[in-house]
Amino acid sequence: MAIRPPNGARPTENDRMPQPRSAAGRFVGLSAPALAIAYVVLTAGPVLLASFNGGPQGATVFPLLARTAGVAALAMFLMQFVTSGRFETISGRIGLDRTMGFHRLAAVGALGMLGLHIVFFLVRAGESGVAAMTRRLLGYLLRADLFTGVIATLLAVLLILTGKYLRGRLLPYQGWRLGHGAMAVALVLLGLHHAFTNARFMADPLGASALLVIALVALASLLVVYVLRPVHAFRSGFTVASARALSPSIAELVLTTNTPERFSFAAGQFAWLTIGRRHTVTDNPFSIASAPSDLPQLRFLIRNAGDMSGSASNIAPGTRVGVDGPHGSFTLREAGDGPVLLLAGGIGIAPVLSLVRTLAATGDPRPVRLIAGARSAADHVVRTEIEDLMAGHDFRAIFLTDMDDEAGCEKGTCDAGHLARIVDGLDPAAVTAFICGPPAMMETAVGLLVEAGVPPGRIVMERFDFDAGDDAVCRMVRRRFISVMALVYGATFAVALTAAL
């Protein structure tokens, strides 16, 4: 179903240009360097402030290093609430996938810092043997005054293991999410208790105040996500206009509202949807398939993933829907002035359709190329719509299927030959490529694009397991994440060693 702009207004020249803000002028987030600096300052800051008044003092350098590592670890765990991916100030420009990738890597970094906190306390001058360290460790585990610290450490290990291996597997996503959040809150509360009742380091007023400020920021983030967001999500007044199955595996959900001025987005973004009168803790993320000019209607293509998405086509018209968004940086503001290449696999066609609808609605003159893959020709549910939209534009497309080559589709997966055909006549260095689809498809696509001459900096991806990729773009981003962690470790121990001297 093609959703037409409600007022038929012609686009202005300003509409055709990628803007750094949304249609309503919404701030889209801090830059990556600004976020990196803020993270280093907030995690290493308490150690630095405490050093001004001689707070981190100890008989030897090892207790000093242990205390500074413990405080830094606690600050890093507190910052995990802020990097949870639900704040556009953080994820607006770098994307939710990168934000969550950093969130997961930072958790490992925090656990490593916590491990150093323990190890440094086990090391003593003249008594550094394994047997002596083991005795001290058992002694610490049995001390009543260290009980909260021990439990916090165990929770930290459990959080990371369950986050990596149980997320969406043994437990339903919503159940895992609630449990993960509850354990995280317990971890930081126990950690704060341990810090302020046992650590001499926190006797310093500056360091203690800094850590309390970060704790208040973490608390505020919880209030926003679990108290304010549920109210705001329903403020736009969206209800279900229609829901139907487009294929055996894909449904279309169209929402509408009488107050469209309360919601704006950029093409390619996504939103978290809460169906019915429930708390937004039950929400799920879905890419928006419509263009901003299609408001007051908001359209989603939803693949049956075996959870609530399987019943999307049966949602009754008039059902209230909470819409938390928009989120994501899979937008045309990431594109240069050159050609646009779109690569979609499966339901990854949803945000790509949003981009196509916007390019068509604004009369964008740039060459647009598309390679779209699906399991079967029947799953190319918007092929005709895309071809109709781009009629008269500089547009070429290849539609691939896994199972058959009927209805004008080609059988097979995207390879170098397909890419060479679709970019023929274009300068690969000037192309901006947008990729969305299954992780394996995206990883392969990045490799093909880089080999074809598309710069990694011009490859825009939408994925929700960014830290799992092993392509050129993921490796580049992962190196930057590790650099930020190295800065945190370096700053923390540089301050500690300077104070010791």
Domain count, the chain: 3
Residue 15 falls inside a structural domain: no
Task: Return the beta strands (E) in 261-328 as ranges.
Answer: 270-275, 284-287, 297-303, 321-327
- From residue 14, how far is each of 7, 10, 18, 339, 464 by CA, in Å? 18, 12, 8, 19, 32
pLDDT at 203 > cutoff 70: no
Q: Which of 297, 327, 357 is the last residue of a domain?
A: 327
Residue 344 falls inside a structural domain: yes
Q: Give the pLDDT band of residue 21 (cuts 50, 70, 90).
A: very low
Residues 256 and 282 in one domain: yes
Residues 241 and 268 in one domain: yes
Structural domain boundaries enclosing 49 = 32-232+483-500
Residues 66 and 210 in one domain: yes
For 219-278, the pLDDT digits (tens) are 999 999 888 888 889 999 999 999 999 998 899 999 999 999 999 999 999 999 999 878
Q: Which of 327, 355, 386 is the last residue of a domain?
A: 327
How many other CB atoms are there within 10 angstroms of residue 468's CB atom?
13
Spatial CA neighbour of 461 closest among 451, 447, 480: 447
Q: Give the pLDDT band of residue 307 (cuts 50, 70, 90).
A: low
- Lowest average pLDDT, out of 25-34, 211-220, 286-295, 324-333, goes to 25-34
pLDDT at 501 > cutoff 80: no
Residues 167 and 98 in one domain: yes
Residue 11 falls inside a structural domain: no
Residues 180 and 47 in one domain: yes
**What confidence score (pLDDT) does residue 53 get?**
62
Residue 439 falls inside a structural domain: yes
Residue 22 falls inside a structural domain: no
Q: Which of 292, 327, 362 is the last residue of a domain?
A: 327
Residue 17 falls inside a structural domain: no
Residue 445 falls inside a structural domain: yes
* Structural contact between residues 52 and 43, judged by C-beta atoms closer than 8 angstroms: no
Residues 227 and 242 in one domain: no
* Structural contact between residues 371 and 342, judged by C-beta atoms closer than 8 angstroms: yes
Residue 27 falls inside a structural domain: no
Residues 211 and 281 in one domain: no
Mean pLDDT (whole number) for 447-460: 92
The stretches of 199-273 forming alpha helices (DSSP H) are 205-223, 229-233
